[in-house]
Amino acid sequence: MDILVCVKRVPDSAENEISVGPGGADIRREDLVYSVNEWDNYAVEEAIQIVERVGGNVTVVSVGDTEAEEIVRREMAMGANQGLLATDAAFTGSDGLGIATILEAVAQKAKYDLILTGAQADDGAAQVGGMLGALLDWPYASLVNLIKVQGDKSLRIGREIEGGSQEISDIELPCVLSIQTGINEPRYVGIRGIRKVASVEIPVLDGGALGLPPGTVGAAGARVRRVDYFVPQTGAGAEMLTGSTEEVAGKLVDLLKAKGGIK
């Protein structure tokens, strides 16, 4: 099975104090530590595990500037067979549809049975996977936390849905799936693996190589533009209930009655 996994280089929330930048239209990016998007890491691990079970090939692709190459190499050190970097100054400022359009053009350069994305990236919109499926006219599922290969024509997948329930479905190949965290445990990437792929050539695809006319992606083609970031104002603090279990339960019932939550 030939699998394409879409990965993104994002600010590492565990290593950075994220704050709003001047003008409010972006975060402060000076001196940020970057890493692979957490959800994407689970997608790469799942692709590798599928190929280990049934055979095939895993390719990772990232849309970004030249610094995104480090993310591609990191996922190759993890076990992906090939890497691709889609970069072009004309891609800067792409909205979700623009990114999906770039990825669709990448996907059309080869024949893939399955495309995986993370459930969401750093802006939290969770839209690129679904848009990519629509552009390719392939079946799509989100929040996938279970994949079982059923021959060469379909997969059985599990999805996390409301209330902690699990939804099981069969989906035809080729398809696009957005992977939820917790589907697996991403493997450790050691120095030996990083050194092994350090000199591997990463093909670079620009707008011309992907057949994307000027203005179709990037800021010029964006239909959604970010206009403001802000930090919500701090409200009143929480009221902490103390006492025994029975006392706390009684206080909680009284509060709910006072607020109209129960009668």
Residue 165 maps to a domain? yes
- Whether residue 84 is contained in a domain is answered as yes
Q: What tens digit of pLDDT does each residue of 111-165 get? A: 999 999 999 886 778 999 999 999 999 999 999 999 999 998 999 999 988 888 8
Number of domains in the chain: 1
Query: Tens digits of per-residue pLDDT, 158-211?
Result: 998 888 889 999 999 999 999 999 999 999 999 999 999 999 999 999 999 999
Residue 135 lies inside a defined structural domain of this protein: yes
The predicted structure's pLDDT at residue 125: 86
**In angstroms, what CA-CA distances link 250 with 42, 238, 244, 253, 261?**
44, 18, 10, 5, 14
Say whether pLDDT at 64 is over 80.
Answer: yes
| Residue 238 resides in a domain | no
Q: Is residue 188 part of a domain?
A: yes
Tell me the three state secondary structure of residue 27: strand
Q: Note down the domain range covering 19.
A: 2-221
DSSP 81: S
Which pLDDT tens digit goes with each residue over 11-40?
Answer: 887 788 888 888 877 788 888 888 999 999
Does some domain include residue 246? Answer: no
The CATH number of residue 186's host domain is 3.40.50.620
Is residue 233 included in any domain, yes or no? no
